[in-house]
Amino acid sequence: MSDDETQSAAGSSPQGSWRLFVPADVPFIYQLVAAVDPRWWRFSRHGLEPSRLLEIAEGLAAGVVVVDENGRPVACAVLADAGSAGTGTLEFYALPDPHAQAIAARLAPELVAAAFAGAPIRRLYHERFENDPDLLGEISTLFEVEVTFPDFALVDGGYESRTTSVTTPERLAAWQAAGAQ
Amino acid sequence: MITTARIVLRPVLPSDYRRLYMIESDPATAMTWRYRGDLPRIEEYEPALWKQTQQIMVVEGRTSGLVVGYLQLHDLDLRAGNGWFSLYSGPEHRGSGLVMEGLMAYCEWAFGNWPIRWLYAHSFAHNVKNFEHGMRRGEAVRLGVLRERMLVDGEPTDVHVIGIERENWLASPLRRRFNVLRARRC
């Protein structure tokens, strides 16, 4: 990818920005998965054997890395399971520290908008454990819970439920229009 | 293997593949969750059949000896302790109750042989009636509905997510009755 392409695909914020995922980001993905284990379930469900994680990462449709004001990667968002049904799943995780999570939450609206702009998606899903930090920030209200898996998996000694919620381009557009007024 | 008065639930054999392919070729169910209308050619069927799949159990009618349907255990997640199942019924046996009897045998088999706490299934809105009895009785629960999740013949279609919990199944009156009848009639 050229620098121009990176620039055109990137958004920015006073305290952090994001850019498209590149192969050199793989070590950061591993670091992130390990730091939040087992919350990034797509990767953690089979354990953290590196070659398997790499294989999963290669199968993802698209991804971005969120960096802080010093250019240090702090979060990652990927679009997974994007298929012919016009649906996809947003997976979004940040390093487990308040600064990283705050930057991620601040950029969440841009990332969701980018997912809809970059792929023909009519319904965007988001899965989370009940005690996951809220990284969707002010757009979390646009996501409606459709499925709850009770006591889905053990996390730090206790079972946590997992939900699947969804939003649409129409909901995001209405929210953006309301914010612009 | 589990045997009842009417059916045998047993592991699939390669000699069953052609029959399974026939079941899945039925136009009424061609738009399944797995193939979404794009059933592979018979030569490519075996790897497609086993993709992400841990075990396949066929339901054989005891009188006819014919495979009337099959159940698939797939996407097993041993860290969470859950797995997914798919259920397929031959077109001429829908409504006979044979495959739903096979589902009871399958629950008995799956929870008795795999360390799983939950079995989940996706069901299109037009098939979910098969689970309604179980949900009313409490053996199964609807965990939610993914609105307009899939396109069937180009139309957005809801997908119901059904769950069967191990402890719930083990304690259910239906299971007790199933095993009493099974012991009496075999």
With beta carbons less than 8 A apart as the criterion, state whether A167 and A142 touch: yes
Q: In angstroms, what separates the C-alpha of A153 from chain B's closest C-alpha?
A: 4
- What pLDDT does residue B33 have? 58
B143 vs A contacts (CB less than 8 Å): 147-150
**Interface touch B148/A145, C-beta < 8 Å:** no
Q: Please, is B181 exposed, middle or buried when counting C-beta atoms within 10 Å of its C-beta (0-12, 13-18, 19+)?
A: middle
A10 touches chain B (CB under 8 A): no
With beta carbons less than 8 A apart as the criterion, state whether A79 and A90 touch: yes
**Interface touch B143/A148, C-beta < 8 Å:** yes
- Strands, E assignment, A1-45: 11-13, 16-20
Q: Please, which residues bridge with residue B160 across strands?
A: B123, B145
Alpha helices in A45-161 (DSSP H): 50-58, 98-118
ipTM of this predicted structure: 0.90
Q: In angstroms, what separates the C-alpha of A85 from chain B's closest C-alpha?
A: 5
Question: A12 pLDDT band (50/70/90 cuts)?
Answer: very low
Determine how many CB atoms are found less than 10 A away from the CB of residue A20: 17
Question: Which residue would you say has higher pLDDT here, A6 or B71?
Answer: B71
Considering the entire predicted model, what is its pTM?
0.90
Residue-wise pLDDT tens for chain B (186 aa)? 999 989 999 999 999 999 999 988 887 666 665 676 678 899 999 999 999 999 999 999 999 999 999 999 999 999 999 999 999 988 877 777 888 899 999 999 999 999 999 999 999 888 888 888 889 988 999 999 999 998 887 888 899 999 999 999 999 999 999 999 888 765
A146 touches chain B (CB under 8 A): yes
- Strands, E assignment, chain B: 2-3, 7-11, 53-61, 67-77, 82-89, 118-124, 141-152, 155-165
Average pLDDT score, chain A: 90
**Interface touch B151/A47, C-beta < 8 Å:** no
Residue in A48, A56, A130, A147 to test binding to B, most B beta-carbons within 10 Å: A147
Q: Which CATH architecture has domain B2-183?
A: 3-Layer(aba) Sandwich (3.40)
Whether residue A54 is predicted with pLDDT greater than 90 in this model: the reply is no
Question: Where are the domains positioned within chain B?
Answer: 2-183
For residues A47-61, give the mean pLDDT.
86
Q: In angstroms, what separates the C-alpha of A64 from chain B's closest C-alpha?
A: 25
The nearest alpha carbon in chain A to B33 belongs to A85
A85 touches chain B (CB under 8 A): yes
The nearest alpha carbon in chain A to B145 belongs to A146
**Interface touch A85/B36, C-beta < 8 Å:** yes
B95 dihedral zone (left: phi>0; alpha: psi -120 to 50; beta): left
